[in-house]
Amino acid sequence: MRPACDRIWTHARLATLRGGVVEGAIGVRDGVISYVGSAESAPDAAEVIDCGGRWITPGLIDCHSHLVHGGDRAAEFEMRLAGASYEEIARAGGGILSTMRATREASEDALVESALPRLDALIAEGVTTVEVKSGYGLDLDNEMKMLRAARRLGDERAVSVATTFLGAHALPPEFSGDADGYIDMLCAALPEIAPLADAVDGFCEGIAFSPVQIGRLFAAARRLGLPVKLHAEQLSNSRGAEMAAGHGALSADHLEHLEEAGVAAMARAGTVAVLLPGAFYFMRDTKVPPVAALRRAGVPMAIATDCNPGTAPLTSLLLAMNMGATLFGLTVEECLAGVTREAARALGMLDRVGTLEVGKWCDLAIWDIERPAELVYRMGFNPLHARVWRGI
Ligand code: DI6
Ligand code: FE
């Protein structure tokens, strides 16, 4: 007879992220967790792996990335080191638009190839789910090319990919002076894009789009049943988070300039605050997101890399956790939950990933550590012992 489990990991300390730490075993059947509990009552298994007392967490989840893009912005980084500002570079035709040009020039194959090393860096630290945004094509064909490339990353590697349509990232030159016309175009294109996208995102900012403009796009997305999320309050308070929460957004991300009304709206809507300390660090920002207010209001907080060529060329979720603690004052527990349970919530995937519970996909990170704080404490050190995606 077939054993109850295909595989079981024993002699482990399980940070379940749901009901505390379990010292014991975790088993999988058909890619799904079928047992979490003591070693003594564990069912029989075709394969038994002794973890030697190691810690097991849910596989890590990077819930905000721009992993797929053409080119890089190392030259702009040098300009910034020499004193130029992000805005000056953007006004001179650099910034997001320089990545737009490189992305439009790249073939779909080239986008996949160039994203794989970045994805592999995440995977090497135990990432099993990654969100990938479009937003550097800025026309229908190139946005769809980016989303197809993102989906293909999930065929190339053992990782779950959630795609997000970020057409409203910047105004492309074809629509110069006509942001409303561009939003109209995006709304009209949404039915064609919908099969490639798991969610719709926008950049709500003085230098990008207003809450009213993004609100129109979100209304169109909701009519198609697509969840929404927003880059909000990164450089100023445009009250984007309130607008997003009004559309039942999964998350509002960045949030350095978020104020009390935005916090309250997010708490009411159950919108996750996705904190991106890598962008804060790389842009040498000084205003930190209102973590204490978010905590007080019970807004769930996630942490992500924001991996992008302009403001966060970061491919380490462990380092993002360290920055979340050192720069934003998150606790170890908040950092760990921020890259597992709350990141899953931010993707609308909490029913499938993010905690160690029977019935969820068996995505695990097995660590050579004595206590979870070590995942947050070190910088540039990778204690991953093994990684499991859907039981393998
Ligand atoms: N906020 C950011 O930090 C990135 N996008 C966004 O909406 C910047 C992307 C870039 O500079 O390429
Ligand atoms: Fe971003």
- pLDDT for 93 beyond 90: no
Q: Which atom of ligand 1 is nearest to the CA of 90?
A: 11
373, two tokens? 């704080």
Give the residue whose CA is nearest to atom 2 of ligand 1.
Answer: 311
Give the number of the ligand closest to the Cα of residue 90.
1
Is 310 part of any known ligand binding site? yes
Is 223 part of any known ligand binding site? no
- pLDDT for 262 beyond 90: yes
- Computed over every residue of the chain, the mean pLDDT equals 98
Q: Which atom of ligand 1 is nearest to the CA of 169?
A: 7
Residues 6+ apart with CB under 8 A from 70: 99, 101, 102, 103, 104, 105, 106, 110, 111, 114, 136
Asked if 337 and 17 touch (Cβ cutoff 8 Å), the reply is yes
- pLDDT for 92 beyond 90: no
Could you tell me what percent of the chain has a pLDDT over 70? 100
> 231 in ligand 1 pocket by Cβ < 6 Å?
yes
CA of 362 to the centre of ligand 1 (A): 33
CA of 58 to the centre of ligand 2 (A): 24
Give the residue whose CA is nearest to atom 11 of ligand 1.
Answer: 310
Give the number of the ligand closest to the Cα of residue 307.
2
Q: Which atom of ligand 1 is nearest to the CA of 96?
A: 12
CA of 134 to the centre of ligand 2 (A): 10
Give the residue whose CA is nearest to atom 4 of ligand 1.
Answer: 311
Asked if 328 and 277 touch (Cβ cutoff 8 Å), the reply is yes
Over residues 113-140, the pLDDT tens digits come to 999 999 999 999 999 999 999 999 999 9
Give the residue whose CA is nearest to atom 3 of ligand 1.
Answer: 311
- pLDDT for 110 beyond 90: yes
Spatial separation of the C-alpha atoms in residues 245 and 261, rounded to whole Å = 11
**CATH fold of 60-347, please?**
TIM Barrel (3.20.20)
> 230 in ligand 1 pocket by Cβ < 6 Å?
no
CA of 308 to the centre of ligand 2 (A): 7
pLDDT of 87:
85
> 308 in ligand 1 pocket by Cβ < 6 Å?
yes
pLDDT of 1:
85
pLDDT of 256:
98
> 338 in ligand 1 pocket by Cβ < 6 Å?
no
- pLDDT for 225 beyond 90: yes
> 96 in ligand 1 pocket by Cβ < 6 Å?
yes
Cα 297 to Cα 167, 271, 327, 362: the distances in Å are: 31, 12, 21, 32
Give the number of the ligand closest to the Cα of residue 131.
2
Q: How far is CA 286 from the centre of its chain?
A: 23
Spatial separation of the C-alpha atoms in residues 5 and 130, rounded to whole Å = 27
Pocket test for ligand 1, best of 96, 233, 282 (most atoms within 8 A of CB): 96
pLDDT of 124:
99
> 279 in ligand 1 pocket by Cβ < 6 Å?
yes
pLDDT of 109:
98
pLDDT of 352:
98
Is 64 part of any known ligand binding site? yes
- pLDDT for 90 beyond 90: no
Over residues 134-158, the pLDDT tens digits come to 999 999 999 999 999 999 999 999 9
> Can you say whether residue 177 is alpha, beta or left, with left for phi > 0 and alpha for psi between -120 and 50 degrees?
left
Give the number of the ligand closest to the Cα of residue 305.
2
Longest dimension (CA), the chain: 70
Residue whose C-alpha is closest to residue 233's, from 294, 308, 186, 172: 294
- pLDDT for 356 beyond 90: yes
Q: Which atom of ligand 1 is nearest to the CA of 208?
A: 7
Is 306 part of any known ligand binding site? yes
When pLDDT is averaged across residues 294-323 and rounded to a whole number, the result is 98
Is 69 part of any known ligand binding site? no
Could you tell me what percent of the chain has a pLDDT over 90? 97
Over residues 179-224, the pLDDT tens digits come to 999 999 999 999 999 999 999 999 999 989 999 999 999 999 999 9
Extents of the domains making up the chain: 5-58+355-388, 60-347
> What's the CATH number of domain 5-58+355-388, 2.30.40.10, 3.90.1300.10, 3.30.70.20, 3.40.50.970?
2.30.40.10
- Asked which of 24-38, 77-91, 215-229, 375-389 is least confident by mean pLDDT, the reply is 77-91
> 309 in ligand 1 pocket by Cβ < 6 Å?
yes
pLDDT of 171:
96
Is 311 part of any known ligand binding site? yes
Give the number of the ligand closest to the Cα of residue 279.
1
